[in-house]
Structure 1
Amino acid sequence: MLNLSALTTWVIDKSSRFFIDIAHAMAYLKTVLKNVITKPFEFQEFLKQCYQIGNKSIGLVSITGLIVGLVLTIQSRPPLVDFGAVAMLPGMVAISIIREMGPVITALICAGKIGSSMGAELGSMRVSKQIDAMEVSNTNPINFLVVPRVLAATTMIPLLTLYADAIGIFGSWLGINIKDNITIALFLNQAFTQVDFMDIFPAVIKSFFFGAVIGLVGCYKGYHAGRGTESVGVAANSAVVTSSLLLIIVDLIAVQITDLL
């Protein structure tokens, strides 16, 4: 028999921990922002992190984007055939991918790949006392370890999103050609005739926030990992879960703001 009291207590406990965690992350964001303008800026480390983020994610983003475009097209075609509106399919799929599917799916993939990697890497440095050694030697670990990673994630997620959009639209063209025969030029003309500036601009802007969330949460969880070796795995897992939830919340807020414009 379901114990409503125990369930309510569990939900309240998990919710309170989540919001407390977010409050601590926001306080951590203030520290990170202060260090962004603090010299020296580790430009080489920033470039290294940009390369690693792109290199780790581009393969999975490519496969996922292609499959999303294919599936969305194949699933959407039959209802449009019934209404005699197959010509609207490229535009509908392009808008769906650019507005929502591309940014959100790319961000969730990167939360799993990049967020967990940052959490595990910084967590292992905390466990092995490398961060403590940097603090003792009067080296600012946030300036060297955290700021480049957060800025790199904020920079690379929008680029990966645009790449995923392009791959998804290409996958849509492949999906259409399973049943029909349409050239890529005609497909792109039909697709982008329906797309306007307000479809692209808000999606790009919110992808910057997605990147910042992934970088900040991943670094926060790793930087504040516990002392035991098991805390590395906890930090990586917690980084994925928390950043994924925050991405959905940020997307909800972004959609509401876009709807008002």
Structure 2
Amino acid sequence: MAEKAQETTFPIAGPVNVFKGLLDELGGMFLFFVESVVLIFAGWGQFSKSVRQIYFIGVQSVSVIALIGLFAGMVMGMQLYYALSTFGADGFLGTGVALSMVRELAPVLAAIMLAGRAGSAMTAEIGVMRISEQIDALTIMDINPKRYLVAPKMAACLISFPILTAFFNLIAMWGGWLTGVKLLGANEGVYWSRVQDSLDWADIEGGFIKALVFGVLVCTICCFEGYYTHTRSGHAGPEGVSQSTTSAVVKSCVIILAADYVLTSLLW
């Protein structure tokens, strides 16, 4: 007698399960973040590890941030000059470049670039240690893996992101001057005068607040994805690490943009 073919069914998660999974993930990330921040102050042994991470996340990202900031400022200067000159308001070029960079573009673009460069490396590093059971070995030796691996990265992100954002601002304003003044003929004195007069401390402070928040988000998401590679990716081995790394970068970029909207609504 011929056997009846069995139908393969694929369960579809309902809205309740999706919402429950989202809450579970957000709660896990929040507890992961709190524990990581507390462990930053666990002892002087963290200082040397944090310095190494600052060098990797901050110093080695300077060239990338400078390049992106230069071209972002040049494009912004060119576009604003053409738009403002239509109404005879090209004297406000410095205002447009300064405010757009300090308030929005510098924190967001710097954070996205750091998520792609440093965040992916953090996820891959911790993910490889997870699948090779090095994290389990640390636990067996009574070494807190989060204190050893995550806390120095969190401290480095809290220091590096605001500094790199400030550097991005300086390079971007110089890029706007390069195209708006040197290439298109705007008045140099008016440009720098508008830059100085249009920026208030609230604008600069808001940009640094965004940079701090983005640094926390990028570090938390990337380290969380790497730390739980074995349970979250659904795959073991190198494939799991690659999926966790991709997921970390994508989530970081999306959350950065969403957080930027929320922070902009609250700060201005």
Q: Secondary structure at the match of 2:244?
A: helix
User: CA 1:91 to 1:11, structure 2 compared with 1: closer, same or farther past 3 Å?
Assistant: farther
Cross-structure match for 2:260: 251
CA distance in 2 between counterparts of 1:11 and 1:233 reads: 28
Q: How does 1:1-261 map to 2 (within 5 A)?
A: 17-176=21-180, 177-180=182-185, 182-183=187-188, 187-226=191-230, 227-259=236-268
**Superposed displacement of residue 143, structure 1:** 0.8
Quick check: 2:107–2:207 contact (8 Å CA) kept in 1? yes
CA distance in 2 between counterparts of 1:62 and 1:20 reads: 38
Identity of aligned residues (%): 28
Quick check: 2:229–2:244 contact (8 Å CA) kept in 1? yes
Runs of 4+ in 1 over 6 A off after TM superposition: 8-16
Q: Secondary structure at the match of 1:42?
A: helix
Quick check: 1:107–1:207 contact (8 Å CA) kept in 2? yes
User: CA 1:157 to 1:221, structure 2 compared with 1: closer, same or farther past 3 Å?
Assistant: same
Q: Secondary structure at the match of 2:58?
A: helix
CA distance in 2 between counterparts of 1:168 and 1:107 reads: 15
Q: Tell me the number of residue pairs that the alignment of Structure 1 and Structure 2 aligns.
A: 251
Quick check: 1:69–1:170 contact (8 Å CA) kept in 2? yes
CA distance in 1 between counterparts of 2:121 and 2:192 reads: 37
TM-score, with length taken from structure 2: 0.86
Show CA shifts across 1:108-149 (max 9, x none): 111111111100000011111111111101111111110000
Q: Which runs of 5+ in 1 are unaligned?
A: 1-7
**Superposed displacement of residue 34, structure 1:** 3.3
Quick check: 1:42–1:148 contact (8 Å CA) kept in 2? yes
CA distance in 1 between counterparts of 2:20 and 2:251 reads: 13
CA distance in 1 between counterparts of 2:15 and 2:68 reads: 33
CA distance in 2 between counterparts of 1:210 and 1:218 reads: 12
Quick check: 1:54–1:156 contact (8 Å CA) kept in 2? yes
Show CA shifts across 1:71-119 (max 9, x none): 1111111221121111111111111101101001101111111111100
**Superposed displacement of residue 181, structure 1:** 5.7
Quick check: 1:62–1:167 contact (8 Å CA) kept in 2? yes
Bigger shift: residues 125-134 or 25-34 = 25-34
Q: Secondary structure at the match of 2:199?
A: coil
**Superposed displacement of residue 38, structure 1:** 2.5
Amino acid across the alignment from 2:266: I
User: CA 1:94 to 1:15, structure 2 compared with 1: closer, same or farther past 3 Å?
Assistant: farther
**Superposed displacement of residue 55, structure 1:** 3.5
Quick check: 1:225–1:231 contact (8 Å CA) kept in 2? yes
CA distance in 1 between counterparts of 2:260 and 2:44 reads: 34
CA distance in 2 between counterparts of 1:85 and 1:120 reads: 49
Please, what is the CA RMSD of the aligned residues?
Answer: 2.2
User: CA 1:208 to 1:98, structure 2 compared with 1: closer, same or farther past 3 Å?
Assistant: same
Bigger shift: residues 242-251 or 210-219 = 242-251
User: CA 1:87 to 1:213, structure 2 compared with 1: closer, same or farther past 3 Å?
Assistant: same
Amino acid across the alignment from 1:115: G
Q: Which runs of 5+ in 2 are unaligned?
A: 1-11, 231-235
